[in-house]
């Protein structure tokens, strides 16, 4: 006699129990969206997903948010030691306590969903190794570009491609500041104050305006795109604090816009991993991403260039990515760990040891702005130095001096050159007696 197992309807299966660490802006959005869209989510996941426990130091605020729909505690161990909790969501941020918390959750056999890009960029290799050993999933869609599903695209949607390069506007604070400087002709410091008043910039905006936040996100995308370990320490990072309204205006006159870009590119010598202000042709779609929005441009050999655009932060946009991870982990909960999508897209034993190129070895084009004395022979002296270093000029503009002034701005766009050659040339130019001050240098990418 043949016995067949009785089919159990998905909605009648035991709900997945979730513990939430941190119910601030993103945590409250996650809790509310999960409750509001519960019916749709159940239909997609195949079973109910319930945040049944919340750990937060501000228990009064947490109680106001959950309204009796979850147990609130100030002690994270109450969640870690609860055998009924299947998945934990880490939304507390930071490097140290969050690392310990995630590793404890993994050791307890719990799947992890996190939005913590700093944690993964610095400790991701250790965390993913621990998760593989324990047979659990670490999901992190919300760690990069908020509600834009770029991790899913890189890990799964573009699997058939050999990724050639990625260029992203992945910090909304910096993009807002640059957009306002261009639109209103304001100085950096003035727009930063405005961004802080509007809540787009933190009281201490260092991570955003110095490019660190973007570098964390770029490190994660680069690892997935090229199948290499996380290497945040090897990234070249520059912020936007030294940009002037003059440079933004001159770039506009030349048909370019300045954006803080995260760029990672595969080359024969290694992988580029760099964050810095960049001139982009104004006709490119990504150059027209304004305000606090994010966009990521990915170039694959088969698909060509693909652009992903949307809200890079905020309560519900980021919650959208957190819940998408919850659904993915729920689907994978009972699957064989060997058949799950690898954390970094490539099989763990297939990660490459491709080196990250030092910035001096990177080849790109440049915008150069020089203030010089308005006298004969200046251009000849400058172009001679550039030619000696094998740097050719693509375009040049010499501004008229202001009335009564004896100094003038010269703006040059170069063809592609190796950065260390440019460094050497600029050192020579800054030593010329006709130069006033330092040369302003901004990298330029055509993103064809």
The domain locations on the chain are 10-148+317-350, 150-311, 361-444
Q: What is the pTM of this model?
A: 0.93
pLDDT value of residue 12:
54
Please give the Cα distance from 430 to 370 (Å, whole number). Answer: 9
pLDDT value of residue 448:
85
Please give the Cα distance from 163 to 156 (Å, whole number). Answer: 12
- pLDDT, tens digit, 9 for 90 and up, residues 259-303: 999 999 999 999 999 999 999 999 999 999 999 999 999 999 999
CATH of region 361-444, choose from 3.90.420.10, 3.40.1350.10, 3.30.460.10, 3.30.70.260 = 3.30.70.260
pLDDT value of residue 334:
67
3-state secondary structure the chain: CCCCCCCCCHHHCCCEEEEEECCCHHHHHHHHHHHHCHHHHHHHHCCCEEEEEEECCCHHHHHHHHCCCCEEECCCHHHHCCCCCCEEEECCCCCHHHHHHHHHHHHCCCEEEECCHHHHHHHHHHHHHHHHHHCCCEECHHHCCCCCCHHHHHHHHCCCCCEEEEEEECCHHHHHHHHHHHHHCCCHHHHHHHHHHHCCCCCCCHHHHCCHHHHHHHHHHHHHHHCCCCCHHHCEECCCCCCCHHHHHHHHHCCEEEEEEEEEEECCCCEEEEEEEEEEECCCHHHHCCCCEEEEEEEECCCEEEEEEEECCCHHHHHHHHHHHHHHHHHHCCCCHHHCCCCCCCCHHHCCCCCECCHHHCEEEEEEEEEEECCCCHHHHHHHHHHHCCCCEEEEEECCCCCCCCEEEEEEEECCEEHHHHHHHHHHHHCCCCECCCCEEEEECCCC
Taking 80 as the threshold, does the pLDDT of residue 212 lie above it? yes
Q: What is the mean pLDDT of residues 231-254?
A: 96
CB 368 within 8 A of CB 412: yes
Q: What is the mean pLDDT of residues 438-442?
A: 96
How many residues can be counted in the chain?
448
- pLDDT, tens digit, 9 for 90 and up, residues 109-130: 999 999 999 999 999 999 999 9
Confidence of residue 399 (pLDDT cuts 50, 70, 90): confident
pLDDT value of residue 349:
82
Fold that domain 10-148+317-350 belongs to in CATH: Rossmann fold (3.40.50)
Taking 80 as the threshold, does the pLDDT of residue 10 lie above it? no
Confidence of residue 9 (pLDDT cuts 50, 70, 90): very low
Please give the Cα distance from 405 to 310 (Å, whole number). Answer: 46
CATH fold match for the domains 10-148+317-350 and 361-444: no
Distances (CA, A) of 442 to 9, 93, 275, 405: 59, 32, 12, 26
**Mean pLDDT rounded to a whole number for the chain:** 93
How many CB atoms lie under 10 A from the CB of residue 13?
Answer: 15
Of 47-51, 125-129, 339-343, 414-418, which gets the smallest average pLDDT?
A: 339-343
In the block, residue with structure tokens 């997935």: 224
Confidence of residue 337 (pLDDT cuts 50, 70, 90): confident
CATH architecture of the region 150-311: 2-Layer Sandwich (3.30)
pLDDT value of residue 404:
66
CB 24 within 8 A of CB 322: no
Q: What is the mean pLDDT of residues 80-89?
A: 97
Please give the Cα distance from 371 to 351 (Å, whole number). Answer: 48
- Catalytic, 217? Answer yes
Q: What is the mean pLDDT of residues 35-39?
A: 96
Q: Which of 110, 117, 152, 217 does the annotation list as catalytic?
A: 217
pLDDT value of residue 68:
96
Tokens of residue 259, six digits: 């954006």
């Amino acid at each position: 006699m043949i016995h067949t197992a009785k089919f159990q309807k998905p909605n009648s299966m035991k709900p997945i129990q979730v513990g939430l660490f941190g119910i601030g802006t993103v945590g409250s959005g996650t809790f509310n969206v999960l409750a509001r869209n519960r019916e749709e989510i159940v239909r997609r996941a195949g079973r109910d997903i319930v945040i049944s426990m919340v750990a937060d130091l501000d228990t009064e605020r947490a109680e106001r948010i959950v309204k009796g729909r979850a147990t609130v505690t100030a002690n994270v161990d109450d969640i870690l030691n609860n055998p009924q909790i299947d998945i934990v969501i880490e939304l507390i941020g930071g490097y140290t306590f969050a690392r310990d918390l995630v590793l404890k959750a993994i050791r307890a056999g719990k799947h992890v969903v996190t939005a913590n890009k700093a944690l993964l960029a610095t400790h991701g290799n250790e965390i993913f190794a621990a998760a593989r050993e324990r047979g659990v999933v670490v999901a992190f869609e919300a760690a990069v570009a908020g509600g834009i599903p770029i991790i899913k695209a890189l890990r799964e949607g573009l699997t058939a491609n050999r990724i050639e390069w990625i260029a992203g506007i992945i910090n909304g604070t910096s993009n807002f500041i640059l957009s306002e400087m261009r639109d209103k002709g304001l100085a950096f410091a003035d727009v930063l104050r405005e961004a802080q008043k509007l809540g787009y910039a933190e009281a201490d905006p260092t991570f955003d305006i110095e490019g660190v936040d973007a570098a964390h996100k770029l490190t994660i995308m680069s690892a997935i795109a090229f199948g290499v370990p996380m290497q945040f320490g090897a990234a070249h990072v520059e912020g936007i604090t030294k940009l002037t309204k003059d440079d933004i205006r001159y770039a506009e006159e030349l048909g370019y816009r300045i954006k803080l870009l995260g760029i990672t590119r595969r080359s024969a010598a290694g992988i580029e991993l760099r964050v810095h202000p960049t001139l982009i042709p104004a006709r490119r779609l990504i150059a027209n991403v304004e305000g606090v929005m994010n966009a990521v441009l990915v170039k694959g050999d088969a698909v060509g260039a693909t652009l992903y655009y949307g809200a890079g932060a905020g309560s519900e946009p980021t919650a959208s990515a957190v819940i998408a991870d919850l659904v993915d982990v729920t689907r994978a909960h009972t699957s064989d760990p060997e058949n799950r999508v690898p954390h970094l897209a490539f099989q763990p034993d297939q990660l490459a040891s491709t080196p990250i190129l030092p910035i001096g070895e990177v080849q790109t084009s440049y915008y150069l702005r020089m203030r010089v004395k308005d006298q004969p022979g200046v251009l000849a002296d400058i172009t001679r130095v550039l030619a000696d270093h094998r740097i050719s000029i693509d375009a040049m503009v010499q501004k008229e001096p202001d009335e009564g002034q004896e100094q003038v701005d010269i703006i040059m766009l170069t063809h592609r050159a190796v950065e260390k050659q440019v460094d050497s040339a600029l050192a020579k130019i800054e030593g010329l007696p006709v130069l006033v001050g330092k040369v302003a240098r901004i990298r330029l990418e055509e993103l064809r």
